[in-house]
Structure 1
Amino acid sequence: MSNIKRTNSDDNDFKNLVVLLDQDLAIRDGDDHAFYNQYNKTDKIKHVIVFYENDVAVGCGAFREKEPQTVEIKRMFVHPDYRKKGIASKVLDALEIWAGELNYPYKVLETGKKQPEAINLYQKLGYSIIPNYPPYEEMENSVCMKKIL
């Protein structure tokens, strides 16, 4: 049985998943990891989703306000053993619903060219590639995307 929990960045299940996410990103990002990592701090995030499968935390995502009317989707991750089951889509959908309830019509995110599965997922779910926004505007590996609800 699966379920979704709304929480914040103090949640231990979220913190544990983020450790795995950061390990994966360190490999994918290579020399650029230190740059990206400075913008991926999880302290004080008020809007976090944790996805559970049979009471095991297997996926997560979060958002924070980027500017009035816009949130930035952050820390999207699904444990490798649970990928290809639609969990990332469910996490992202839950984040979008929550942001909509808070009257944020615009969602932006940054992902990397070394994460083609993430780019494909976001495009499938209605996100469009946009010019890289700060602080990613000079990062060749970055892909920024936006969705309007």
Structure 2
Amino acid sequence: MEKTIEYRHVGGDDKRFAGLCRELDAWLLEAVGAEDLAPYEELNQAVGVEDAFLAFDGEEAVGCVCLKAYDGETAEMKRFFVRKGCRGRGIARGLLETLEAFARERGYKRLILETGEMLTTAVRLYRKAGFETIQNYGPYEKMEESLCMGKSLGQNRAISG
């Protein structure tokens, strides 16, 4: 019988969150290469993040995501990651749904994120969750490799399959 995954709200300075972010950085380095990743190094930091969420399989943190205020009505989703051996179990979907519910509770009307088109599994999950491609925003405006997406939080849309 598979263990139930538990989602917990933690601070942005949580050591387990920081550890998963380091794993994400290593995975991104392997997935896209040092040259393509270099311009994003500073932008990928979780500086100023107060709200993070971890997915736990038992007592082991296996996934993370965080929320960063962008403006009064919009929050940015960052540092979204599930360990390779734990993928395919709905953990990413659970993290995303947990984050969206929290953002709604905090009064945000919209979520935005930045990813890369080459990260096809992530892009597919975001689209299933109702995210649509938007104009590149803020620090990503001149980064052609970036794919920015946004979603209205007006409706609670369950992520299918």
Tell me the TM-score normalised to structure 1 length. 0.95
Aligned length: 149
Give the 3-state SS of the residue equivalent to 2:104 in structure 1. helix
- After TM superposition, the structure 1 = structure 2 runs for residues 1-149 of structure 1, keeping only pairs within 5 Å, are 1-30=4-33, 31-149=35-153
Q: Is the 8 A contact 1:2 1:53 kept in 2?
A: yes
Give the 3-state SS of the residue equivalent to 1:90 in structure 2. helix
Tell me the TM-score normalised to structure 2 length. 0.88
**Percent identity (aligned):** 36
Q: Cα RMSD (Å) of the superposition?
A: 1.1
After the TM superposition, list the runs of 4 or more consecutive aligned residues in structure 1 that deviate by more than 2 angstroms.
Answer: 27-30
* Cα shift readout 1:7-59 (whole Å, capped 9, x = no counterpart): 11211111111111001112233212121111121233111000001221100
Give the 3-state SS of the residue equivalent to 1:135 in structure 2. helix
Unmatched 5+ residue regions in structure 1? none
Q: Is the 8 A contact 2:55 2:64 kept in 1?
A: yes
Q: Is the 8 A contact 1:129 1:144 kept in 2?
A: yes
Q: Distance in 1 between matches of 2:101 and 2:48?
A: 20
